[in-house]
Amino acid sequence: MKKLNVLFCGLIFLCACAQDLPETPTSKNPYPKGDFQNPLGITNYLSGNFAELRNNHFHSGIDIKTNQKEGYNIYAVGDGFISRINVSPRGYGNAIYIDHPNGYTTVYAHLQKFNSEIEAYVRDYQYQNESFAVEIYPKKNELKVSQGDIIALSGNSGSSGGPHLHFEIRDTQTEEPINPFLFGFDVPDTSAPMINGTYIYPINGNVNGKTSRQTVANGSTVSASGKVGLGVKAYDKHNGAENMNGIFQINVFVDEQPYYTYTAERLNFDWTRAINCLVDYEDRMKNNSWVYQLFRKAGDPVQMYSNVQNEGIIDLEEGKTYDIRIEVRDYAGNKRESKFKISGKTPPREKPVDESALVFHWNKENYFKAEGIELLFPKGIIYEDLNFKYRKSDNGKHWVHDWNIPVHRYYTIAIEPDGIPTAQLDKAILVREYQYRGAWRKEHINAEYKNGKVVGEARDFGVFSVEVDNTKPVINPVNIKENSTFTGSRGVIRFTISDSQTGIQGFAAYINGKWILTNYDQKTRSLTIDLNKEGIANGKHQLELKVWDEKNNTATYTVNFNKS
């Protein structure tokens, strides 16, 4: 690969900008600064930052804008070797992972295309395995890179919502993503974070006489009793961009004593879904609102907290007034605060224990069986003990607890099929219905018929039932029909493909009976075959395209075409 000297164009090394951060694990910053250069050769502005709150996960890197265009050079930020290459119609799309001698791995995702050496390597693998989607682990030092080498072009592949570079730094040994700012990457940031709401949660008590979450104004005094927790809705902006990005650090002080600190230092993919435990999940489901809850639940696996007293929960004493200060910081040291007082009132009476309630414990395996349904919940899939609720409606659907309560991992659900002919049982699937922002939604879960039940795995609560998936995917030819002719640069055949139930599981295209590489972008449902790139000779050819879903329902499209 050709070595290029690349100047930093906006990503700058930090110097004294983080000097006034409070004492936290990141204050001593064990991560090397100066080892890595800019992965892009343009001025950098962010559309997303590290640990930003996303749907069911923390954002594991920084998203660098590419001026709403594709095709910018992507550079290796340091010497090393390519340890992993991904090609996928979803997720990171086209992605490269580079292991560096300093013990860290950098990740470059949503790429348009790889450089010629990497592309040839990937294409050979795709043809050997007859698959567009591949995950490749080259041998150590098989594909070496030097700092400044062009490894790819920026793009919009996978689940990207627009052209940009998703960039990560991971601990090579643990694969844990680490905030790139800690390595000296930063963007100009002179604006303090925004606080768009501050809240008090009655955990076992009340706030202003109410037992639901209450908004508290800056500078006000609130009356409360029992145990309460705090919450804040906050965002950060960087210079040159209007994006509402995530928060680097949140500090809670009670009577000026540190009580809770959240810091976006590093993540672990085993617990990233526990973002649903950190945020007010019910508010997110009902209002698409993102509130950081500043107290911990018993089963919360997230390791982004420090200075935590009493799990962040405040035990209020009657007659005592508490000075509360919530401080929100970005990495550049800009901060904003919300201050208020809580006046402790008479503790509430203890609620009588419901002896009839079925309690599911977060730290135990839980099992439930009723007419027509069985549920098995492994240990650690919920974040706190709950009084489990279930009912079967008149239409035979199974209401499994509350979809506004988050679930961390998959649990097994088995439902007896009702009224499905025996010959159709191999096509039986599970259906989950739930409400999001007040509207009913539906998802299909692949399952199999075993021992008289349709068995699958769910990762959310909801209303479950059984359906049959007999529907083939739909193949829609965009620019080809019988005896179409493709000439010169007009050599790309295009389709869209879709499936109304379990979803596209795979596809394969053959020209004159020989497998041909086909590119698929799930978000646009577009499937393309580049005849020139795949070396299709001039003349008449036959194309056969097969697309199948999770239940192996297969659609086939066959057509003759000419290339000249």
CA 388/CA 375 separation, integer angstroms: 12
Between CA 469 and CA 504 the distance in angstroms is: 12
Is residue 139 classed as helix, strand or coil in its secondary structure?
coil
* Nearest one of 320, 83, 342 to 230, comparing CA atoms: 342
State the DSSP code for 537: P
CB 40 within 8 A of CB 8: no
**Would you say domain 25-183 falls under CATH 2.70.70.10?**
yes
Specify the pLDDT at position 145.
Answer: 98
What is 474-563's CATH topology? Answer: Immunoglobulin-like (2.60.40)
User: Tell me, what's the pLDDT at 450?
Assistant: 95
Q: In the prediction, which pLDDT does 104 show? A: 98
* Among 111, 56, 67, CA closest to 87: 111
CA distance 530 to 51: 38
DSSP annotation of 512: T
pLDDT of the residue at 18: 37
Q: Give SS3 for 128.
A: helix
Sign of CA dihedral 324, 263, 19, 108: negative
Per-residue pLDDT of the chain (564 residues; tens, 9 = 90+): 433 333 333 443 333 333 344 444 444 568 999 899 999 988 889 999 999 999 999 999 999 999 999 999 999 999 999 999 999 999 999 999 999 999 999 999 999 999 999 999 999 999 999 999 999 999 999 999 999 999 999 999 999 999 999 999 999 999 999 999 999 987 889 999 999 999 999 999 999 999 999 999 999 999 999 999 999 999 999 888 888 999 999 999 999 999 999 999 999 999 999 999 999 999 999 999 999 999 999 999 999 999 999 999 999 999 999 999 999 999 999 999 999 999 999 887 777 777 788 999 999 999 999 999 999 999 999 999 999 999 999 999 999 999 999 999 999 999 999 889 999 999 999 999 999 999 999 999 999 999 999 999 999 999 999 999 999 999 999 999 999 999 977 899 999 999 999 999 999 999 999 999 999 999 999 999 999 999 999 999 999 999 999 999 999 999 999 999
CA-to-CA distance for 360 and 384, rounded, in angstroms? 9
Residue type, position 119, single letter: E
| Spans of all domains in the chain | 25-183, 194-344, 358-468, 474-563
Residue 1's alpha-carbon distances to 78, 146, 476, in angstroms, are 13, 8, 40
DSSP β-bridge partners for residue 137: none
C-alpha 403/C-alpha 144 separation (Å) is: 48
Question: What is the structure's pLDDT at 356?
Answer: 81
pLDDT at 28: 59
pLDDT at 311: 97
Could you tell me if 447 and 298 are in contact, meaning their C-beta atoms sit under 8 angstroms apart? no
Tell me how many degrees the CA angle 501-504-510 measures, rounded to the nearest 5.
140
Q: Look at residue 422 and give its three-state secondary structure.
A: helix
> How far is the C-alpha of 517 from the C-alpha of 514, rounded, in Å?
10
The confidence score (pLDDT) of residue 24 equals 43
E-strand stretches of 478-549: 484-486, 492-498, 504-511, 514-516, 519-521, 526-530, 539-549
Instruction: State the pTM of this model.
Output: 0.92
Query: In terms of Cα–Cα distance, which of 471, 503, 383, 224 is closest to 213?
Result: 224
CA atoms within 13 A on the CB side of 127: 9
**183 burial class (0-12, 13-18, 19+ CB within 10 angstroms)?**
buried
CB 493 within 8 A of CB 511: no
Query: How many residues belong to the chain?
Result: 564
* Per-residue model confidence (pLDDT) at position 48: 93
Cα distance between residue 17 and residue 190, in whole Å: 10
Nearest to 243 by CA among 475, 528, 45, 482: 45
Contacts of 502 (CB under 8 A, 6+ apart): 429, 444, 445, 446, 469, 549, 550, 551
For residues 396 and 562, give the distance between their C-alpha atoms in angstroms, rounded to a whole number.
54
CATH 2.60.220.30 for domain 358-468: yes
